[in-house]
Chain A
Amino acid sequence: MKTTFLHGRYAEGNGDLAERFGTDADADANLNEHFTRYGQHEMRGIKAEDYIRLEAVFCSDRGHIQLAGWADRRLIHSFHVTVEVGYIRYDLGEVTPCWYERADVTAVTGDTQQDSGYLALLKIDGLILHSGVRILINDKKMYDEPAMRWLSIDSFLTRSLSACAVLADQPVGNTLSHAQALYPQYAEIWGEYLDGLTFSAAFQHRAQAPVARSIIITLHRKAEMLLIQLDSLAEALTRDGETEVIVIGNELAGAQLLVEQLGAFCQIHDIPLSLHLCSGNSGFSAGNNHGAEIARGEILIFMNPDIFPPETAPERGTDFLFSDPGEDLHGALLYYGDGMLMHSGMYTTADLAFNARSGVSAPVLRVEHFGKGLTHHVDDAADIIAPTLAAIAGQPVLASAALWKIRKTVFDAVGGLPIDYLFAYYEDADFCLALRGQGRDIVIDNTARWIHMEGVGKAKPAHVRSFMWLNRALYSQKFADSDLLSDESADLSLL
């Protein structure tokens, strides 16, 4: 076979090169060298939009940029990004996007060997905002927006995470490396966002009353169950007289109405109660940490807003509130709304996340629950559930932060809930492992039974699926080597 470089066609199609090197046979070597060194990377002679597309662009006013699209990587070998904002060009250089499988693109291009979808998260330092934005990939203009709508950081975070769901929704082995690559970038954005948040007191009742313990309830957006929850606790709290309730509202809708309702509630139930509003969504950890910071009680009880004492025998739940956990972290038996056992503690174990195409496998952690799926009812006698509880004795049990009881000193000694997890998920397991790592114990109080009205069968929004995926990657990275994981055999046999 004979291979010939068509220098004439290359020169004809590229006037700048023709002018520089000429078009006759003498220019062959120069043109050939140029093509080899530059031309093929610059996609000279290729109609770029046939082989690379930029389908989505999100830009934050802090300089974060997310790009998403597809490319035929047999022809697109580099990914050099340049962003022009107004009169300033920001050359971000060669970037490494997250490549993922896109069946719709593969069906057209025919390339089944390489992933064609891409998603890139970039940052322009020192961005000067302007209306006009152009984005060039490999020096080809791929995006031109004369009136850019810059997103605030929270908006960017949500939209950007939503876009990441294309990665999060894939088998974890396919995208674990992407999660690990993207997490540091998101952690930086998350940190910036958290730094800008503030908390303010919106309601206080009996703020000076002496208390021994503090119940902390962190809400996100909605408070629809709160008054019912408080009502279900009120009798026990009134009787005790030494418990305050601190409600933290993240992005709370209808806060003014809630303030009014809490006042009316306190007219009927005279308990120390306060509401503190966050200027945004600080997530589960930072919200609860703020509650812990302002708590006046020596004992902290973290309670999800969908936790209720059992309807038929509320004391089986509320008695839990008033005992001292000592140096340990205490959790409770949690039951579904219909009264069936949700779980009797958690454990964490590892799976191998694998990607046969790339030949990579790595441990990825999973949090499981003891007792889930058993037909124990919240009203069952203690002896009915005893064998289940006996079976998990000796296992490294964790407690769901849906309901925790812990001394404030111990909570602080562990460092509070970790805020490096985006919004929610995995932070409670992290805290539990950190606490156990300090030699402290976690106890599931077998006498304490609570109803957890956790949503059943509700699809999670795209951005939630994404931060769960990122948080899982972080959790796996932090604890893959922990000796507190339950081993595979336990995972296969324990229920």
Chain B
Amino acid sequence: MKYLTVSLYHPSVMKGGAQYVAKDLHDVARADPDTDPVMLAAIDANIFPQYAKTGASITALPDGDHEYLLPGQRFVEFYHLIYDKRRNKAVRHFLEQHRPDVIHIHHSLWVGLEFLQLARKVLPGVKIIYTLHEYLPICYSRGQLFRYHEGAICHDTAPDQCVKCFPDHTTDDFILRRRVFRRAFDLVDHFIAPSEYLRSRYVDWGIEADRISVIANGHTPRRPEGWTPTRSADLNVFGFFGQFVDAKGIDVLLRAAVAVSKTKPVEIRIFGGNKQYASEDYVAKVDKILKGAKKNLKITEAGAYSRDNVFDLMTTVDWVVMPSVWPETFGLVVSEAWDARRPVISSRAGGLTERIADGVDGLTFLPGSATQLAGIMDRCIGNAALWDSLSGGITDEVPMTEVWDAHKTIVQKIGRETAA
């Protein structure tokens, strides 16, 4: 089976959850003797001009094995369309040359929704599956289903509601945007959702329920064989892993930590980057919280991390906190924390609710509630019995081979449907 993976970015170009998932699947497919995989990663060549060769719309990833890049110069952000002649020609020839049996698309950003039409035109019988990694098709607000003006999760994606986040647009704009995505998605044989929550949101939006399957993202363990988890003596080190952006809820964690530090010493370690993408208001809010910090509170900003060192970094904290205020689609950090047997304290937001079993392998709180989180942190500090219980309750994430098998099953199912 010739299996083409089309992704937004490649981890070698820029790290990110969706491209990691795409690359992991590509790699596991390469190990499958029945599969001949090839990967095509769309990138924004304005940000990464070093990958854009003049006149070449497709170029090989240096030292990559069957991995190619599709650099683009422009992208219609609202509709996720490109319509580039040179690129269309290159993609057409690429598809004709590789003739995949399956095209697995992981994103429309910089891929362009018309890619689906072109693929159908060039290869009418190709099976197209599409992994929905976030909510961009149904939410123009960074694909987060988070109403920044209200500071709350968006539960209603009706076009008139979108105007509340984007007053410069009209309801018709969002009706048309939805139409563009739906029309392109009609060309997809089957969708993959990493969580039931994400699946349900897309079903509510209009994708037929039987066209979306849930397959967890899978994880390749980094934990050495025979490794035993350890913890600090005071069990008061809480780690945050992720981007320093508004919807990740660092402010909630810090407010909780400030409250707890009034009675107990607390240490917060922040591993993440992209602070530049946080809003000015948000950074100001965080700074204000930090000004109120007591001497009992130690906060360390450790900067960015990668999957290569995340296991080791996880072991430097006792607890991993995911205070997201947006409905996380899956929660890759949970997989990474579990790998290091760190109990996760997470908000009950989106896909996280499916992953953390409260009191079994972690603890949960209401999204945005610093009070609830403070109570949990207070309970956790120095509580070895709780830590042992939760850490011992953690099971391994679904392995990549299993995830790949689940994809193959879906591909086969499409075949049966087509044959029927």
Task: Give me the interface of A with B, judged by CB distance under 8 Å.
Answer: 225, 227-228, 231-232, 257, 260-265, 267-269, 306, 308, 311, 336-338, 453-458
Contact = CB atoms under 8 A, between A and B. Distances in A.
A454 B183 CA distance: 21
Contacts of A336: 172
Contacts of A338: 159, 171, 175
- Chain B contact residues (Cβ within 8 angstroms of A): what range? 20 to 34
B176 interface: yes
B170 A227 contact: no
Interface in B175-204: 175-176, 179-180, 182-183
B370 to A, nearest CB: 39
B79 A455 contact: no
B58 to A, nearest CB: 15
Contacts of B114: 231, 264, 268
Contacts of B213: none
B84 A264 contact: yes
Nearest to A264: B83
A312 to B, nearest CB: 10
Contacts of B170: 455-458
* Residue from B82, B87, B180 whose CB has the most chain A CB atoms within 10 Å: B180
Among A225, A267, A456, residue most surrounded by chain B Cβ atoms (within 10 Å): A267
B295 interface: no
Interface of B: 74, 79, 81-85, 87-89, 92, 114, 117-118, 121, 159, 170-172, 175-176, 179-180, 182-183
A215 to B, nearest CB: 19
Nearest to B92: A267
Contact of B88 (A225, A231, A264, A306): A264
A453 B121 contact: no
Given A268-B121, A311-B182, A453 B176 contact: yes
B62 to A, nearest CB: 28
Contacts of A227: 81, 83
A455 to B, nearest CB: 6
B180 to A, nearest CB: 6
B83 A261 contact: yes
Residue among A228, A257, A269, A455 having the largest count of chain B Cβ atoms under 10 Å = A228
Contact of A453 (B81, B82, B88, B175): B175
B83 A265 contact: yes
Nearest 3 A/B pairs, CB to CB: A261-B83, A264-B83, A337-B172
A308 B159 CA distance: 17
A311 B114 CA distance: 17
Nearest to A265: B83
Given A268-B114, A311-B182, A260 B85 contact: yes
B140 to A, nearest CB: 15
A456 B174 CA distance: 13
21 contacts: A225-B176, A228-B81, A228-B180, A231-B114, A232-B179, A262-B83, A264-B82, A264-B85, A267-B92, A267-B118, A268-B121, A306-B172, A311-B183, A337-B171, A337-B172, A337-B175, A338-B159, A455-B170, A456-B170, A456-B171, A456-B172
